[in-house]
Structure formats: structure tokens, C-alpha cells
Structure 1
Amino acid sequence: MRNRIIIPEGIYGITGDNFAHGKSNLECVKAMIEGGIKIIQYRDKTKSIKEKVKEAREIRELCREKGVIFIVNDHVDIAILVDADGVHIGQDDMDPSDVRKLIGENKIIGLSTHSEEQGMKAYNNPDVDYIGVGPIFPTTTKDTAPVGLGYLEYAVKNLHLPFTAIGGIKEHNLHEIISRGAKNVCLVSDIVGAEDIAEKVRQLQNLINQK
């Protein structure tokens, strides 16, 4: 059985230029990396495939230069094309075992989960390296209904694989996530929407480190 690839603890960065007040995804990623983020996911739901490939390739090169893990959301084909470190898929996307056949043994597969049942299924699937747990709170970045803190607590106690807590997490409620044992946390609009993204990341990381 293959060993899971471990993702870094701390903040999981996701692009979202629709929340970035005019800053491009590349500009946001540069600032996130400057702030100390060690894993970046390229996520964009509106651009054309051609635009996504261009952005993914630019961000991939930056991440490679800075030693940051680069994940592509949903698009296995783009992840392969730009030689990303991995891909993040949802419950309605391709099965993780089929993704594994395409991207190979040494790439990362992340899977969004929204329930204890989905989380346990992912835990028992060696092709899944880490999971997203959420959305914890209501969020404008996804259509999925919030799952609340109960699933997060279940994941900490029962799902012994890396996960990132995601969904509606902001500075004011970050303590609710960290205090329950989460080691990796994703904030989107709170980070890309900040006037000084790098400084915002440092402040958030300090809050995480204090717990």
C-alpha cells in the first residue's frame, strides 16, 4: 500500500481573485508565499480553460522557484499539463483511484468531504493523501451547505490523515478551529481580500502558533 504524502501544517492558500479587489491570482500568490504559506491551490471557476492553463503555469513556476507545494483544483488535465504537485477534487469529480492512474503514485490527491461518512471513506482510500473538512461555516466561495464544528471534531478524533479545515473561516473565528485540534486551515477571502496579504498571513499564522 502506498504511503500518503504529507501536506504542511499551517495555512492552506487558495486563489480567489474575485475577492482580491483587483489583484491578480499571481499577485496574490506571490504575497501569500512572502507571508510564509507553503501550499497553494489554484482555484478559478470563471475563466476559460486557456486562461486557467496560463495562470496555472505561471503560478506553478513561482511555487517551484520558492519551494511551495502547488495543487490544481478540479482540473486533472491542467495539473498534468503544468506538472503540478497534485490535484484537489470534489465528491462529484473523478474517483480518486482513477485520478491516481492518471497522475501517478508520487503526486498529491486532495478530496473535499462534507460528512463523517465521506471522511471515513477517504480515510480508507490510500489514493487520497489529504481531505478538505467543511465548509465549517457559511461561505460565499462554495455552494455546499455548512457542516458545522461537529464534523471537524470528528475528523480530529477519528480520521488519522492530513486535512485542511475550510469554509467561512476568518480571523475572528479562527480560534474555534484551532482550539479543536486542526493543524491546517484554509482562509480565502480574508487573505486575498486583505490590503497587505503577506502581513495578513503572518498575523494569522501567529494566531495559529499561539494555540
Structure 2
Amino acid sequence: MREYLQLYLVVGSVNCKEDPVKVVREALEGGVTLVQFREKGPGSLTGAAKLELAERLRALCHSAGALFIVNDDVELALAVDADGVHIGQEDEAADRVRARIGERILGVSAITTEEARSAIRQGADYLGIGPIYPTSSKEDARAVQGPQVLKKLRTQGITLPLVGIGGITAERAAEVVSAGADGVAVISAITQADNARNAAAALKSKVLRALASSSTASQGPEV
């Protein structure tokens, strides 16, 4: 799971600068390892159009060897045979979602240690932590936490895979990974970029270098 969290794209038709299928295709070429389909907000697709887009994005992800997860819509996830579902603290309870999706991946948004532990008890496979930095991509975003929230969760015994989200750019990615995340989740850093492939590649490069540096540091100096 940790490898798939390295570069995690949250995408919906309303937040893409170009056609979402084109954006996702290019982002996958640039190194995105997981796509979360989050079709919400004014002007978002519904019904058959939403289902069709989900099916197209899922096919792209699987062709590229990436995971495809649906945000807060278990019915849609099951209909398109998605790899999993991601839910927030205000959505359906994690244990109920786990019962509905079976062995599929379950991601849960969390900030506090209590939220993290509750999600783990209820069957979460990974946690989305944030917003790390200020973001305008989500109108309902919670208070900005800073990278230190990741360090806090790790020092308090949270070992589950973590992905940081919220205002993350290529310049900030290394700081997030160094603080304890297994990867970074982004929206506008890729969906609003002039070139989604290049934007994804830049992010992936920073994440991989930070992961390599963290691994070397944890092993300690050679004797």
C-alpha cells in the first residue's frame, strides 16, 4: 500500500484545467500511483455521465498499474469495480463502509491521533492526513495542520500508511515525506498545471528522493 501512496491524485471534472481523461492519462505517465475520483461541487457530473467518467478513469489507472479509488460513494465504487473507497470524518462510518466493500481498499481522512486509531480499529488500510498547508481546492477543508501533524502521529505509534494532503507542491513534497508520510496527495498541483505529465514527474521525483533519504537515515551509518 505504501508504494501506491507515493503520488496520489485527487481528481474530478470540475477541478481540471483540461479534459479530466487527458489530465489523468498524462498524470499517470508522469508517475501518479493512485487516483481518487472525487466528483463533487457545483457543476459536477451525475448519473450516467459520472459513471462513464469513473469507468474511463479506472481503465486508465489499471492500464498504468495504478490504483483507482472512489471518494465517498460506495455504490459507484462497486458499480465500476474500483480498488477501494476513501471517506472523511463526516461521511459514513468506516466500519460500515468496510462491511460494504469487503476486501477492497479503505482510506480514511484523519487529523488527530484519536481519529487515526478509530479508523484503524474500523478497518482502514491507509490514512489521509491534512490539510498540511492552506488549500483552496476543498471548500470544507479543516484547519491547516502543518507537517508536524505527521511527526506527531508517528511518534504516538501510528504505523499505518499515511498520505499527506492539502496545498502540497513539488517544493513542499520532500518536507511532507520527511515528516512521516509515505507519499503526497495533490489536486491543483496537477489538475491545474499547464502540463500534467511534467507536474506529476516533478512531484514524483521529489517524493522518491525524500523516501530514499528517509530510508538511509533510518538505517543509520554503515559500520
TM-score (norm 1): 0.89
**Matched-pair identity in %:** 34
Kindly tell me the number of residue pairs found equivalent between the two proteins: 204
Which of 119, 122, 128 aligns to 1:122? It is 119
Q: Distance in 2 between matches of 1:37 and 1:79?
A: 20
Structure 1, residues 120-147: CA drift from partner, whole Å, max 9, x if none? 222333x111110011112112222222
Q: Distance in 2 between matches of 1:108 and 1:155?
A: 21
Instruction: Give how far 1:109 is off.
Output: 0.5
The answer to whether the Cα contact below 8 Å between 1:72 and 1:87 also exists between their aligned partners in 2 is: yes
* 3-state SS of paired residue (2:159): coil
Gaps of 5+ in 2: 211-223
Question: CA 1:208–1:137 in structure 2 vs 1: closer, same or farther (change >3 Å)?
Answer: same
* 3-state SS of paired residue (1:72): strand
Map of 1:97 onto structure 2: 95
Map of 2:143 onto structure 1: 145
Displaced runs of 4 or more, over 6 A? none
What is the root-mean-square deviation in Å for CA atoms of aligned residues? 1.7
The answer to whether the Cα contact below 8 Å between 2:21 and 2:56 also exists between their aligned partners in 1 is: yes
Q: Distance in 1 between matches of 2:46 and 2:158?
A: 36
Moved more, 154-163 or 30-39: 154-163
The answer to whether the Cα contact below 8 Å between 1:16 and 1:189 also exists between their aligned partners in 2 is: no
Q: State yes or no: 1:28 paired with 2:23.
A: yes
Q: Distance in 1 between matches of 2:50 and 2:189?
A: 23
TM-score (norm 2): 0.84
Question: CA 1:35–1:194 in structure 2 vs 1: closer, same or farther (change >3 Å)?
Answer: same
The answer to whether the Cα contact below 8 Å between 2:94 and 2:119 also exists between their aligned partners in 1 is: no
Question: CA 1:174–1:67 in structure 2 vs 1: closer, same or farther (change >3 Å)?
Answer: closer
Map of 2:8 onto structure 1: 12
